[in-house]
Structures are given as structure tokens and as C-alpha cells.
Amino acid sequence: MSEAIERVGRHWLHGRTIRVKMADGLVEALEQLESAGAEKQRWIAPALIDLQLNGVGGVDFNETETTPQRIAEAVRYLYARGVVRFCPTVITSDRSGMLRCIRTIAEACDAYPEVAYAVLGIHVEGPYISGETGPRGAHPLEHVRDPDAQEYLEWREASGGRVRMVTVAPERTGAADFIRRLVREGVVAAIGHTGATDEQLQAAADAGATMSTHLGNGSHPVLPRHPNYIWSQLAEDRLYAGLVGDGHHLPPAVLKSMIRAKGAKAVIVSDATHYEGFAPGRYMKRGRYEVLLQPDGRLVMADQPQIFAGAATALNRCVENVARFGICSLGEAIEMASLRPAEVLGLAEAGIGSLRPGSPADLIVYEAGEDGRMEIVETIAGGRSVFTKIG
């Protein structure tokens, strides 16, 4: 049994002072208080959930040499960013390499309780995506392929049943049948890295796809005014939209328009790579190609600077950006990176992503500046204080 603890601060949405009581890893009660004054600058919110995380703080989930111990280090590193739950994301590579990365994540879950708690499931992004330049993004062309049921079974076995989301392009041969299989097995089918027609996108949604992976990215640099696959996904009410909030993948005006269009189905993701936290410079990625991390935080292919190579901004800063850009309040942005991702994974009813009696005691205490900045003061995971800001 975990220690009973409580925290006092301002509610992330309405700003009134609350006390959160926790015991045995769960929220026991939320009580509204008269403001005591001392907590005026301290806020309390659900901890963040990242559905698309390729790596962080030097730990690459797509490097075959990464060890379970390093993944545990990444989990602890994320606590300082307010991220308590996430989907480690394995992207397009050769068959054996992807399998090895998936297996390593599963081994980390088996070896480290904090990893097992943090990993809500593995997100496999590719290899069943478009082979076209633009929609393919930074995924290697030589490893892009059509959906393969046998390969998926290998992922499922290697992961110990932890594959929770798969991103697929609807135009790939066999995509609709593959999506139906994923949905039958309780796996979220996401659309991404696609050049699909409206008809193909509709067929994917009819088959059960419920998510757009980093909508507006993994696309052609130039598109017809209309119709095009970005408009089609924005208009499809059955699809949640993952939106990278680093300020580069989607310029503020685009991010605002997409959030307004998707409404309660807008989800903020980081799409961060292990270059998050690195100094600007030129880096060799997995020994295969060079990337540039520019001074403004933009991460691009060195030989094709118009193509992103993932992101280098942690989820808390993405959330913060949404508020700083004037799109919504900070509390509403937090909902897009806590409750909404839990909804995508079908976990919201269990209380994941929210703070209410009976929900997991996953929360952040933060200070909010007038400029929209959000500084994490403390992170609590399963009723345990796992990060406290020093000073």
C-alpha cells in the first residue's frame, strides 16, 4: 500500500483552490477550499500522456542497441516534463530491427515496474505507409511495405500483447482488411504518412480507424487547394487528430485552425526524438543519415531541410505553446494531452487522464507564468512523488 498524501493548488480548468487526497495509488477525493493565498501560483492538473514518442533525452526507442535500462532512464527523465504515461513509438525499419526494438520495450516493462506503469502500449508507426516522397517523411523508402498479417503477429508476440496503436496509410494494398483486424483485437488503427484519396480515407474510417497521426505532417509540401487528404481527415468526425505542438510542424495559425476544426477530438503530441534536450547541431541518426537540429528547435533532414526528421520538443512545451499561441487556455491545452489521449486508447472510463475519485493518482503541480509558460514543480505517478523541482 502506498502512503496517503495530499496536494493543494488551483484547479487546471476553473482556477479555484482544491485539495487532492490520494491513497493506494488512487485519487481518494477532490475538495474545493477557500483560497489560502500560498497556493495562488501553484496549479494542479492530470499528468500528461504522449501518444507519439520516438525517444527523449538521448534515449532512442528505435535504436537496436538501446537497452531496457535506458528505457527506464527515459521514463524517469519524462517525469520532469510532467509525462507519466506514454506510447513508445517504433517507426519504419527492416523487419528484424523493428522486432528487436519492440521486444526491448517489452523487456523493459517486465524488468522495471515504473516502465510497466508508464507504457500504455506501443505505437508502431509504419512500415505500412506511403512510399511517396513527402508523405513518407523521414521513413526509409527501402523498408516501406504493404500490411503483413504475419509480421503483425510477430510484433504482438514480441511485445507481450502490448501493441496498442498502429499507423497505416489507407492506400496500401490490404489496408482496410488490416485495419479491421487491428480493431477486432483492440488496437487503435491510426491513419498517417498517407497520400490517400477521400474515398480511401472514408474506407479506412469505415473499417474502424479512429486517429490521424501527426495530421498535417508526413505529407506533400504542396497540395491541391481542395480536395486533399488533410481536409478530408479534418472533416471526418470519427477521427481524433494527433497534432504536434512544437510550433514548427504546424505553424500557430494552422495549429489553431486544426484544433478549432477537431474540437474535442484534438490531441497534442510531441513526436519527440532522442534529440529532445540536445544542443543545436548536425547529428548522424542511427548511423544512416544526417539531421540538423536548428537553433529554434526545428529538426530536419540535413540533405532535405524541408522534410522534418521528427521533433525535439517535449510534450509539456508543446502544451505550453498551444496556450502561448492564444489558441486556448493552458488548462484546456492540458486536457488535449491528458484526457484526450486516454480517450483515444479507450482508457478514459478507467479514470486515466483525469483527476476524479477512483482515478489513478497521476498528476502534476505546476506554476503558470503570465506569458503562458508552465513550469513543472512536482510530478506524481500512481500516488508516488517521482519528480520535485529543486530551487
Taking the CB of residue 76, how many other CB atoms lie within 10 A of it?
Answer: 15
31 and 49 part of one domain: no
The predicted pLDDT at position 39 comes to 53
Residue 309 — pLDDT band, cuts 50, 70, 90? confident
Query: CA 236, CA 212: separation in Å to the nearest integer?
Result: 10
Tell how strand 281-285 and strand 289-293 pair up: antiparallel
Could you tell me the strand order of the sheet in which 163-168 lies?
48-53, 83-91, 122-125, 163-168, 188-191, 211-212, 240-244, 266-269
The predicted pLDDT at position 373 comes to 84
The predicted pLDDT at position 37 comes to 59
Which structural domain, as residue segments, surrounds residue 337?
Answer: 45-350
The owner of cell 491513497 is 23
Confidence check: pLDDT of 65 > 70: yes
Strands (E), the chain: 5-11, 17-23, 26-32, 42-46, 48-53, 55-56, 59-60, 83-91, 122-125, 163-168, 188-191, 211-212, 240-244, 266-269, 281-285, 289-293, 299-301, 363-368, 374-381, 384-388
Task: Count CA atoms within 13 Å of residue 346 on its CB side.
Answer: 10
Q: Which range has the worst mean pLDDT, 62-66, 298-302, 303-307, 374-378?
A: 303-307
Query: CA 19, CA 391: separation in Å to the nearest integer?
Result: 23
- Do residues 171 and 197 make contact, with C-beta atoms less than 8 angstroms apart? yes
317 and 225 part of one domain: yes
How high does pLDDT run on average in the chain? 95
Confidence check: pLDDT of 6 > 80: yes
- Exposure of 173 by Cβ count < 10 A (0-12 exposed, 13-18 middle, 19+ buried)? exposed
Q: Looking at the annotation, which residues are catalytic? A: 271
**Residue range 292-300: average pLDDT?**
92
> The domain that contains 372 carries what CATH number?
2.30.40.10
221 and 96 part of one domain: yes
Query: CA 100, CA 289: separation in Å to the nearest integer?
Result: 20
Residue 78 — pLDDT band, cuts 50, 70, 90? very high
The predicted pLDDT at position 63 comes to 96
264 and 374 part of one domain: no
Query: CA 153, CA 151: separation in Å to the nearest integer?
Result: 5
Which three cell numbers, joined as nine digits, stand for 388?
A: 520535485
294 and 372 part of one domain: no
The predicted pLDDT at position 38 comes to 53
274 and 375 part of one domain: no
> The domain that contains 260 carries what CATH number?
3.20.20.140
Q: What is the DSSP letter of 3?
A: P
Query: CA 325, CA 247: separation in Å to the nearest integer?
Result: 9
Q: 76 by DSSP, 3-state: which?
A: helix
Domain count, the chain: 2
Residue 1 — pLDDT band, cuts 50, 70, 90? low
> Among 247, 254, 189, which residue's Cα sits nearest to residue 216?
254
Instruction: With 0.75 as the threshold, say if the pTM is over it.
Output: yes
**Residue range 269-285: average pLDDT?**
93
140 and 214 part of one domain: yes
196 and 327 part of one domain: yes
60 and 17 part of one domain: no
Instruction: Using a pLDDT cut of 70, give the percent of the chain over it.
Output: 98
212-255 pLDDT, tens digit each: 999 999 999 899 999 999 999 999 999 999 999 999 999 999 99
117 and 18 part of one domain: no
The predicted pLDDT at position 3 comes to 77
Tell how strand 188-191 and strand 59-60 pair up: unpaired
10 and 120 part of one domain: no
38 and 156 part of one domain: no
Confidence check: pLDDT of 18 > 90: yes
